[in-house]
Chain A
Amino acid sequence: MADAGMLRFHVPEPEVRPGGTPDFSNVTIAKAGSVPRPEVEVDPRDIRDMAFSIIRVLNRAGEAVGPWAGLLSDDELLEGLRHMMTLRSFDARMQMAQRQGKTSFYMQHLGEEAVSCAFRKALAPGDMNFPTYRQAGLLIADGYPMVTMMNQIYSNESDPLKGRQLPIMYSSKEHGFFSISGNLATQYIQAVGWAMASAISNDSKIAAAWIGDGSTAESDFHSALVFASTYKAPVVLNVVNNQWAISTFQGIARGGSGTFAARGLGFGIPSLRVDGNDYLAVHAVAKWAAERARKNLGPTLVEYVTYRVGAHSSSDDPSAYRPKAESDAWPLGDPIVRLKNHLIQRGVWSHERHTQAEAEILETVIAAQREAERHGTLHAGGKPSARDMFEGVYAEMPPHLRRQRQQAGV
């Protein structure tokens, strides 16, 4: 055998680091409208190439084009724009509240608003999301009260979770929003289990699993795919690829597979990639996947290609690991600007109305914030009692916890 020389260890690196010029020339972007829309009954083997393309509806001119366009009315699109603007405004205020010491921690959605806001509108009442920490748009777009979200963020006396959970780890069964764990990927297989239960019960409800690019490396992601595939669970398997897992670029989790969507192919799961900054495309693909699930055709994997413009969390500073201007260079643009331009192009919106809406939304968010702060913030005002700490560990408090509560004197 020929001498192959020394083995070399390979560690992938992003194209650019701080100080460099942002470069996304390696990201291949399909032309808007160019990816076909198959019937939901399609044989998964016939659409394997969709795991490597990007479904897009909005083109550079702001027009909705191609076979995935035309599902939403102007009113629905205006509502969607309002949801995304609300989420962005909410994020800005809460990020600031964290900086002011009103809470310990915050995570914003900047640049990713379309993914959760548009997805929510593809589901039906009773369906269940198993979200990560960056899908608050699911709540906003479903009309969950902002004040309640803020009460949770502030861990105040009106926090529905009694101060037990880290800020933004919401839970609302009523709004189809499973309790956020904070551990990564665990909820992915739970979503599949929920969907299996719906099928076992001959119900009509479907589940949606959520995960980020980095966490797809967890074994729970793979358990979820094999269970979903084996039992043809009525679940939409969402992967939000926002390019960054804290400081780690997506190439570390992705390895050599080309795309995250391609992970589904080995399981025989139809796998689509979509422009995550295109509200119309996200909604259309989510609708397609939800319809497959509801028609008993099984799971669909959807990779949303987007970009995390903000920091990972309030504890993170991205300038330490990526160029500051990288988000400006991101080739898929900003989801709010793109939908705004589309609506202007359609003649149902204007720059003036947009500016006015921004001001109105900010006012609503501030009013909600005032209301929430009347019930306290993390270190000031009303807060959950120390007694609450001992409640709810079990349905019925066992003797050892009763003793400890007594010992704590609460």
Chain B
Amino acid sequence: MIEAIRDAMDVSMARDERVIVFGEDVGFFGGVFRCTQGLQAKYGKSRCFDTPISESGIVGSAIGMAAYGLKPCVEVQFADYVYPAYDQIVSEAARLRYRSNGDFTCPIVVRMPTGGGIFGGQTHSQSPEALFTHVSGLKVVVPSNPHDAKGLLIAAIEDPDPVIFLEPKRLYNGPFDGHHERPVTPWSKHELGEVADGHYTVPLGKAVIRRPGAAVTVLAYGTMVYVAQAAAEETGIDAEIIDLRTLLPLDLETIVASVNKTGRCVVVHEATLTSGFGAELSALVQEHCFYHLEAPVARVAGWDTPYPHAQEWDYFPGPARLGRALLETMEA
């Protein structure tokens, strides 16, 4: 998936000289996850460069560049470090088009690795997507595989508005399903690891059904798509798994059609439960599918604690926890 993300930036930089890439360790070294490796050598230091450790500086300068007419695609090293840039994202990037009535716009992409599963403790594991889905003016994307990651990132770079692009870091090397005791299949052996050369996009705002099913709808994104697949397989429940891909704007149509068909819905995410994006999903399903529901909408999420270190697998909502919720929802 790292190669797919790099390829998306490479393709975009080759097609449009306004696209520039920068962030901490992004230039010469190519990023701590190597997502920008080779871009500086290929496009020069003016278009791919290292920055001081200042997230508000990275995003703030990107906003100014976008106002000038460039299309910056910046990296925040870990989603856990984005908070110093939060004001720039929420008060500035998200509102610039609106407050200036289109006089100035802000076509930027803020990429950041998200989620846990790598023993990163509380500062390298968070999933802050709900902090961004609450902000009008932003788009929020979470890819779950290399093919989508490339197409969604190119679409994000080409989008006229600011996009928060959250890369589940546990998926960088393969489709991790929560079974940490087993080795992960590499992307090279997975059908969605197949990434087409050159330019293509995956449209923002469109979900996809990863596993068709009749019994219950599972709403998932990022790593949880594979956790859901494992849970369905292990419980034998015929779950329909929807990979949301874009959280804002949300593909409500696909969700509603599925839940109206199955009559049951389980929402799963790695982020903490309270006021998480699952609350929004659960409310929307209730509002739009109430008369089709045969069971309460269930939520499976990270516990409302900081992300722990030693207790990583007690915290992480794996297939066993999701499986229990599926069984309970089927029995309700």
A residues contacting B by CB (< 8 A) are 128, 130, 160-162, 164-165, 169, 171-173, 178-179, 181, 183, 186-198, 200-201, 207, 219-220, 223-224, 226-227, 230, 392-395, 398-400
Contacts and interface: CB of A to CB of B under 8 A. Distances in A.
A294 B4 CA distance: 40
18 contacts: A165-B99, A172-B103, A173-B104, A178-B67, A181-B91, A190-B63, A192-B64, A193-B64, A194-B64, A194-B67, A219-B56, A220-B88, A223-B56, A393-B97, A393-B137, A394-B139, A394-B160, A398-B248
B61 A192 contact: yes
B96 A179 contact: yes
Contacts of A192: 60-61, 64
Contacts of A160: 101, 103
Q: How large is the interface on B (under 10, 10 to 19, 20 to 34, 35 or more residues)?
A: 35 or more
B260 interface: no
Contacts of A394: 97, 137, 139, 160-161
B31 interface: no
B227 to A, nearest CB: 27
B52 interface: yes
B101 A220 contact: no
Given A161-B101, A398-B249, A400-B249, A227 B91 contact: no
A183 B137 CA distance: 17
Contact of A223 (B46, B54, B97): B54
A126 to B, nearest CB: 11
A354 to B, nearest CB: 36
B52 A219 contact: no
A399 B136 CA distance: 13
Contact of B57 (A173, A223, A395): A223
Contacts of A172: 103
B99 A191 contact: no
A220 B56 contact: yes
B69 A399 contact: no
B100 A227 contact: no
A162 B103 CA distance: 12
B198 interface: no
Contact of B64 (A162, A181, A196): A196
A130 B46 contact: no
B98 A194 contact: no
B64 A197 contact: yes
Contact of B92 (A161, A190, A196): A190
A196 B205 CA distance: 32
Given A183-B91, A220-B60, A224-B57, 15 more contacts: A160-B101, A169-B99, A173-B104, A179-B96, A179-B100, A186-B60, A188-B60, A190-B60, A194-B65, A226-B57, A393-B98, A394-B160, A394-B161, A398-B205, A400-B249
Interface in B26-55: 46-47, 51-52, 54
Interface of B: 20, 46-47, 51-52, 54, 56-57, 60-65, 67-70, 84, 87-88, 91-92, 96-105, 136-137, 139, 160-161, 205, 248-250, 252-253
B247 to A, nearest CB: 11
A35 B61 CA distance: 34
B103, B105, B161 interface centre (most CB from chain A within 10 Å): B103
A207 B137 CA distance: 26
Nearest to A130: B64
A392 B20 CA distance: 25
Contacts of A399: 205, 249, 252-253
A197 B69 contact: yes
Residue of A190, A197, A394 most packed against chain B (CB within 10 A): A190
With a 10 A CB-CB cut-off, give which of B51, B57, B65, B98 has the most chain A CB atoms: B57
A201 B46 CA distance: 9
Contacts of A207: 64
A193 B101 contact: no
B250 A201 contact: no
A17 to B, nearest CB: 33
Nearest to B57: A223
Given A173-B104, A186-B87, A395-B105, A161 B99 contact: yes
B246 to A, nearest CB: 10
A197 B64 CA distance: 8
A393 B101 CA distance: 9
A392 B57 contact: no
B62 A193 contact: yes
B97 A395 contact: yes
Nearest to A177: B103
Contact of A201 (B62, B70, B99): B70
Closest 10 CB pairs of A and B: A193-B64, A193-B61, A189-B60, A223-B57, A398-B249, A190-B64, A197-B68, A179-B100, A194-B64, A197-B65
A97 B111 CA distance: 46
B99 A164 contact: yes
A318 to B, nearest CB: 27
Given A171-B103, A395-B160, A198 B68 contact: yes
Q: Which of B47, B100, B161, B252 has the most CB of A within 10 A?
A: B100
Nearest to B102: A392
Nearest to B18: A201
A20 B63 CA distance: 46
A227 B64 CA distance: 12
Contact of A189 (B56, B98, B161): B56
Contacts of A186: 60, 87-88, 91-92
B52 A226 contact: yes
Contacts of B103: 160, 171-173, 179
Contacts of A161: 99-101
Contact of B99 (A171, A173, A226, A230): A171
Nearest to A235: B64
A200 B99 CA distance: 27
A393 B136 contact: yes
Contacts of B57: 189, 220, 223-224, 226-227
Most buried by B among A164, A165, A194, A207: A194
B140 to A, nearest CB: 12
Contacts of B205: 398-399
A200 B20 contact: yes
Contact of A190 (B52, B61, B98, B160): B61
A171 B101 contact: yes
